[in-house]
Amino acid sequence: MLNDVLLLAATGFIAGVLGAILGIGGGMIVTPVLTLAMGVNIKYAIGASIIAVIATSSGATIAYLKDEMLNLRVAMFLEIATSIGAIIGALLTGVAPTSFLFVLFGALLVFSSWNMIRKLRGKSDSVVNMQDDDLSKRLKLDGVYYDKAVDKEVPYHVKNVPGGFSMMFGAGFASGLLGIGSGAFKVIAMDTIMGMPLKPSSATSNLMMGVTAAASATVYFFNGSIKPEIAAPLALGILVGATLGSRLMQHLRARVIRMIFIPIILYMGVQMVLQGFGVKIG
């Protein structure tokens, strides 16, 4: 039993570090380890992974707040779109054409990874979006963060609010209907569509993930999907990992974070497209 506890805590630690750096929650690391490596029933694996998302979010955000890395206004404004999307998605389970949506959202991830590769080859991570936007001004979404990797304050503007809002709605919709993590979509909405720098995008995504996951976690908690002997050591490992990961992230260059991010969303995208066509891998 001690072996299992240590293995779960170690898995959680790694998922927490990665999830906090990338803003993707860590469920995509936890679920395969639980089901494939440990033979855990998928029901309990899903329950554990939703706890993993909350632990990553809470562990990461308690480290961020003081450093003003996350943009609370962007988070709360976009959270409306995500949570309404998630509710509608959950309500449409069994009605909406899931295979089509898997292909659509998978293709979106593949396209975004291509987009990010172009960003990586350009110089855009050292150039901050200064484009003004009427809506983002009225909503006071512009922000400033302290980048420890380059040792200076970085003020930034937020653009294309309606585009980001729609993407967030889509991300919530997809997670409610298809049961996929929406962290990658959240980061893409802020980074690619709204022109926020990658680090605040990741931090803000992590905050939002926890809020969205809290609702579904309640369902899983009370319907017996959360096994304490799995979720407890996992959560502890993640809390430690995420606190460390978010500190580490502040010192990493955006380029480095992007280089870890790209293969992960590419993999997720391909996996989702294949699932849409009825092929299941991983």
| 40 contributes a contact to other proteins by CB under 8 A | no
> Bridge partners of 146?
153
Interface residue with other proteins among 14, 104, 117, 232 (CB under 8 A) is 232
Q: Which is nearer to other proteins, 21 or 207 (CB)?
A: 207
Nearest alpha-carbon partner for 45 in 179, 212, 237: 179
In whole angstroms, the minimum distance from the beta carbon of 141 to other proteins comes to 10
Radius of gyration (Cα) for the chain, nearest Å? 18
Alpha-carbon span 264 to 62, nearest angstrom:
25
| 79 contributes a contact to other proteins by CB under 8 A | yes
Nearest alpha-carbon partner for 139 in 168, 154, 160: 160
Candidates 61-69, 118-126, 182-190, 271-279: pick the segment binding other proteins (CB under 8 A): 61-69
Total chain residues near other proteins (CB under 8 A): 50
Decide if 194 contacts 31 (C-beta within 8 A). Answer: no
23 φψ region: left (φ > 0), alpha (ψ -120 to 50), beta (else):
left
In whole angstroms, the minimum distance from the beta carbon of 234 to other proteins comes to 10
Interface residue with other proteins among 96, 104, 149, 214 (CB under 8 A) is 214
| Orientation of helix 42-64 relative to helix 2-22, angle to 10° | 50
Interface residue with other proteins among 62, 130, 144, 150 (CB under 8 A) is 62
In whole angstroms, the minimum distance from the beta carbon of 280 to other proteins comes to 27
Nearest alpha-carbon partner for 89 in 225, 219, 180: 180
Candidates 106-114, 189-197, 214-222, 274-282: pick the segment binding other proteins (CB under 8 A): 214-222
Both tokens assigned to 16 = 């927490």
Candidates 67-75, 163-171, 181-189, 250-258: pick the segment binding other proteins (CB under 8 A): 67-75
Q: Which is nearer to other proteins, 80 or 260 (CB)?
A: 80
| 221 contributes a contact to other proteins by CB under 8 A | yes
Decide if 49 contacts 40 (C-beta within 8 A). Answer: no
Alpha-carbon span 202 to 63, nearest angstrom:
13
Q: Which is nearer to other proteins, 64 or 261 (CB)?
A: 64
| 236 contributes a contact to other proteins by CB under 8 A | yes
Interface residue with other proteins among 101, 110, 116, 213 (CB under 8 A) is 213
In whole angstroms, the minimum distance from the beta carbon of 67 to other proteins comes to 10
- 3-state DSSP call for residue 147? strand
∠169-112-268 over CA atoms, to 5°? 85
Decide if 19 contacts 242 (C-beta within 8 A). Answer: yes
| 108 contributes a contact to other proteins by CB under 8 A | no
Give contact residues for other proteins (rule: CB under 8 A).
1-2, 5, 51, 54-55, 57-59, 61-62, 65-66, 68, 72-73, 76-77, 79-80, 83-84, 86-87, 139-140, 207, 210-211, 213-219, 221-224, 226-229, 231-233, 235-236, 239
